[in-house]
Structure 1
């Protein structure tokens, strides 16, 4: 074999690239995992904080039992933004309002039906003042914005006020100020709040009518200041009805920057570790694997050229690594010696196989010679036409057929299937064929012939083999058929226009038990009647999809040409089986025998 000039560095480079890829993938996985875990932990912490603060705002606002105020504020937003009117200032200083105000601040319920418009407006201002105080207290935690709002539809929301509205609210309560125009704030205005930019809005509007109380979250990018915000919404529900929504807006841009910085640092550290570990690994691999592997390769090439196992064993002993390469070197030494032994054994086996093949060919020839194969078998007998064939599944098979003249007026016919395949079945077949034929030629009826044959075979059957047999004796002059069946397939009989399955009397196979006795039956064949007998290789022929040929298909093939000669009948069945099984391997012998009774022809005067 031609030597290769490629150096082992190629393997070193491949291992280097592989380790770089593995380390890089591991580093990438760790970085992504670190990012996701840190981000998830951060978001979870912020959600818990937002939930807590939203619940605190709801609890503080819930102390106010006058749920009519917020809808009133929305309806009268324009008037509220103008500050206190003269009437409202006058009412504010009245004793009645002082009593109502004390009741209001103590958490009492104020019936709006008993209040004047001015008193309602004053309580609305007070509610705004309390709300902005609550929002501002929460905002000190570090939120970007805390507000109270309600959603009109998927594009607009009513903005009550937020934590930055303290000065505006206080200004509205200042009796010294007048407001001819709306203050420069979103407070008490409808604002654009499209669902296309705020992912939580559609879900909020969907749940609003049912009064569901839960917290909604979204990540929002504000294009005005190019910042990302984490926003939480919680409905304020009174008596099963959503009154408004609390919104907490948290700026997480700083956290995102810190997270990216943390990831960059992790990547730099990981790359440094990767380079060091990869360098150390390559040194280790070269010493413990690459260099010893090169020695193994050189030993393999030397053995392929010289076939000298002793020289290979000496070369492999120089590899002293205690790893798989060292084990491989020792294994190759054993393999080289084993190959030498195997080569010698193969040469012996080749000679033995040639001898066995010759003997098998001879056995096949002997078996074929044992079966009558000259047709027409009885050219001088015009009363019947007979044909038989056997196709073994292996070199030699276990099926057999036989036919012979017992005397001038009686024809014996046998078809049988021995258990097993190959040479043992073929040898048992020859024994059974002779025993059955001899008992018939002694003048026994089919039943008596099988009884006698069964006793003889059972007495000389240490391997417990058995054979199914169909045996028939035809009286040629009359067409009278006497037959017995020892566990064989049902014959197919044509009496009339078509073949049918003739379910004859069955007995146990020959060689099964010596106490078995067989029964026979009789048929009268008329000129033109035909009989077809076969072994189980025909109906059990199997296609690639494991479907069998079956007796129905056999009858169908025979009835396609019921007037065929016995030879044509067998050829038609064989072609039908081959077309059905196609390329599937044949596992059973295919043996058939057919006879057509023609009767004795009258001589012309």
Structure 2
């Protein structure tokens, strides 16, 4: 029974007013609730934006630090590469009986290959090439240290003091490798290296060498097949397990001697095939009549063509001597 049925027509509008008031009340409650939710959402959103902004600033600062560190590391590597490069021959020695040429391609800015040519006295040239295991800074540090020990002016390995004139004697190649083997044990440096050391008497044409498990130098003859110089011993760093031997050979005008590191023969093509010792020997022999500089250039080009100009996986070094 509603108000009209009770017979109070003057109260007819009361229900409508009451319903309107209730609806206004519900709307007010809903508004307050939604406003609170809206305010809460705004606060949460502002907090998220603030944290995101702070994270972005922190990330940007971290990136700046990383870039600065990377830039510093790159500068250090460039400086190290400059030091290593300074240890290589800056120009070919002026000896009328000999012509020299070389190619040096580290696979990184610094590497584990190094070589040098230096005059020992008025009749003799010293020459070495070595390849330290691994790549990068650790290997380069060993190459720098070894090259300093083999320096004819400051190092004491290639010459021995004596009382009688000329107050020194030349250390034989096998003795040089033996001394290096004692000074650079693998357990101390966590590195080993292969090497060849030669003494060339350019007056008589005699070459004495010793090979510490390095790829055998290739001796090219004007009228015959190549000869490999294999006499020596094991890798440097093994602690004298096998004594180093040496050999003396006679070089004549027209001969060319090629030393190289295994990055040359272990270069691969897209099929995974190695350039290899045999192909290197055949390439050198096929172009042996070229001057020594052109011979090395042609051989390096053949290796790169074989690998279809793929990036080098190891340091590549070639050192050539022509006897004129």
Q: TM-score range by the shorter chain?
A: 0.7 to 0.9
Q: CA deviation at 1:595?
A: 0.5
Which of 452, 458, 474 lines up with 2:185 in the alignment?
458
Q: CA deviation at 1:480?
A: 0.7
Distance, in Å, in 2 between the alignment partners of 1:351 and 1:431 is 29
Q: CA deviation at 1:515?
A: 5.1
The aligned counterpart of 2:34 is none
Q: Is the Cα–Cα contact under 8 Å of residues 566 and 595 in structure 1 kept in the other structure?
A: yes
Distance, in Å, in 2 between the alignment partners of 1:348 and 1:314 is 24
Partner-residue secondary structure (3-state), 2:150? helix
Distance, in Å, in 1 between the alignment partners of 2:147 and 2:211 is 15
Q: CA deviation at 1:446?
A: 0.4
Q: CA deviation at 1:369?
A: 0.8
The aligned counterpart of 1:559 is 285
Superposition pairs of residues 423-502 of structure 1, within 5 angstroms: 423-437=137-151, 438=155, 439-442=157-160, 443-458=170-185, 462-497=188-223, 500-502=226-228
Distance, in Å, in 2 between the alignment partners of 1:586 and 1:453 is 29
The aligned counterpart of 1:353 is 70
Q: Is the Cα–Cα contact under 8 Å of residues 436 and 450 in structure 1 kept in the other structure?
A: no
Post-superposition Cα deviations, 1:183-211, rounded to whole Å, max 9, x if no partner, equal: xxxxxxxxxxxxxxxxxxxxxxxxxxxxx
Q: Is the Cα–Cα contact under 8 Å of residues 219 and 229 in structure 2 kept in the other structure?
A: no
Distance, in Å, in 2 between the alignment partners of 1:344 and 1:449 is 53
Ranked by relative contact order (alpha carbons within 8 Å, sequence separation 6 or more), the top structure is 2
Distance, in Å, in 2 between the alignment partners of 1:311 and 1:547 is 62
Which of 99, 121, 125 lines up with 1:385 in the alignment?
99
Partner-residue secondary structure (3-state), 1:462? helix
Number of residue pairs aligned between Structure 1 and Structure 2: 269
Q: CA deviation at 1:501?
A: 4.7
The aligned counterpart of 1:398 is 112
Superposition pairs of residues 153-192 of structure 1, within 5 angstroms: none
Distance, in Å, in 2 between the alignment partners of 1:563 and 1:398 is 31
Q: Is the Cα–Cα contact under 8 Å of residues 212 and 234 in structure 2 kept in the other structure?
A: yes
Partner-residue secondary structure (3-state), 2:269? coil
Distance, in Å, in 2 between the alignment partners of 1:312 and 1:487 is 67
Is 2:311 the partner of 1:311? no
**Residues 436 and 512 of structure 1: is their aligned pair in 2 closer, same or farther, counting only changes over 3 Å?**
farther
Distance, in Å, in 1 between the alignment partners of 2:116 and 2:223 is 28
Q: Is the Cα–Cα contact under 8 Å of residues 219 and 228 in structure 2 kept in the other structure?
A: yes
Structure (1 or 2) with the larger CA radius of gyration:
1
Distance, in Å, in 2 between the alignment partners of 1:410 and 1:447 is 16
The aligned counterpart of 2:246 is 520
Superposition pairs of residues 29-40 of structure 1, within 5 angstroms: none
Distance, in Å, in 1 between the alignment partners of 2:105 and 2:148 is 20
Distance, in Å, in 2 between the alignment partners of 1:563 and 1:521 is 26
Q: Which has more helix, going by share of residues? A: 1
Partner-residue secondary structure (3-state), 1:407? coil
Aligned-residue RMSD, C-alpha? 2.4
Q: Is the Cα–Cα contact under 8 Å of residues 570 and 592 in structure 1 kept in the other structure?
A: yes
Q: Is the Cα–Cα contact under 8 Å of residues 361 and 395 in structure 1 kept in the other structure?
A: yes
Superposition pairs of residues 315-354 of structure 1, within 5 angstroms: 339-354=56-71
TM-score normalized with structure 1 length:
0.42
The aligned counterpart of 2:88 is 371
**Residues 553 and 337 of structure 1: is their aligned pair in 2 closer, same or farther, counting only changes over 3 Å?**
farther
Post-superposition Cα deviations, 1:444-503, rounded to whole Å, max 9, x if no partner, equal: 1000111112112229x6232111001111111111111000010011111233552515
**Residues 336 and 385 of structure 1: is their aligned pair in 2 closer, same or farther, counting only changes over 3 Å?**
same
Distance, in Å, in 1 between the alignment partners of 2:241 and 2:148 is 21
